[in-house]
């Protein structure tokens, strides 16, 4: 196998119902992501599942491209916010390019936030990860939960309404945090209070 890869793994012991749910979630992430080819979206390679009858252990694996740098949340904690506006513009342009590519393919990421953005080892490139709650619009039923992370969600997503614009709102939140080092609603820890 060329390149270096990481294995996103979930293991479920002795709970067939939960294993079925997790398998559905992980396979849904993989099937949305597997055909995407873009410099600012992590490359998804393989999905594998394994079941050991003796230990009743279910294992699910998504194998994807390794990003050597940290995620943006860790990066901001370790290195602090950037002081050059060119740096902000460059990273913002890469993120928008990845988001535009998803939207052209009718995919809403739905969970854009610093921990779902990874840096390359030289910190020059960012890539989007974690299409775990993403929706492909042609498959999205009106009843589908507009899941995500409340701190980065616009009011309509909190109300369970999904449009491509939810990613643009979240992109704004990410850029705010990248520029200032502060999360949206900094100071409020309880996600439920943010929803109200």
Ligand X SMILES: Nc1ncnc2c1ncn2[C@@H]1O[C@H](COP(=O)(O)OP(=O)(O)O)[C@@H](O)[C@H]1O
Residues near ligand X (CB under 6 A) are 6, 8, 42, 64-67, 71, 115-116, 118, 129-130, 132
Judged by CB under 5 A, the residue of 40, 94, 110, 116 near Mg ion is 116
Site for Mg ion contains 134 (CB under 5 A): no
Site for Mg ion contains 70 (CB under 5 A): no
The residue among 147, 120, 141 whose CA lies nearest residue 29 is: 147
List, in sequence order, the alpha helices (H) in the chain.
16-33, 72-79, 85-104, 155-158, 165-180, 191-195
Q: Catalytic annotation on 159?
A: no
Q: Could you say which of ligand X, Mg ion, none residue 71 binds, taking C-beta under 5 to 8 angstroms by partner kind?
A: ligand X
Cβ-proximal residue to ligand X, closest one? 130
Distances (CA, A) of 14 to 25, 57, 61, 131: 18, 6, 18, 27
Catalytic residue among 52, 68, 71, 111: 111
The residue among 156, 113, 163 whose CA lies nearest residue 140 is: 163
Least separation in angstroms between residue 41's CB and ligand X is 11
Q: What residues are annotated to the active site?
A: 111
């Amino acid at each position: 196998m060329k390149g270096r890869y990481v294995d996103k793994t979930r293991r479920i012991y002795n709970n067939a119902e939960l294993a079925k749910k997790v398998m559905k979630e992980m396979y849904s992430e993989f099937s949305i992501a597997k055909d995407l080819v873009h410099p600012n979206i992590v490359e998804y390679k393989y999905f594998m599942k394994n079941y050991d009858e003796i230990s009743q252990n279910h294992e699910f694996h998504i194998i994807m491209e390794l990003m050597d740098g940290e995620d943006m949340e860790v990066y901001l904690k370790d290195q602090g916010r950037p002081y050059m506006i060119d740096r902000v513009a460059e990273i913002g342009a890469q993120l928008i390019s990845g988001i535009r590519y998803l939207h052209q393919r009718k995919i809403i990421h739905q969970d854009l936030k610093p921990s779902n953005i990874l840096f390359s080892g030289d910190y020059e490139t960012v890539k989007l990860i974690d299409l775990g709650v993403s929706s492909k619009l042609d498959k999205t039923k009106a009843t589908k939960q507009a899941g995500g992370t409340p701190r980065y969600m616009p009011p309509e997503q909190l109300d369970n309404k999904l449009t491509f614009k939810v990613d643009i709102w979240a992109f704004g939140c990410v850029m705010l945090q990248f520029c200032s080092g502060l999360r949206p609603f900094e100071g409020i820890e309880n996600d439920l209070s943010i929803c109200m």
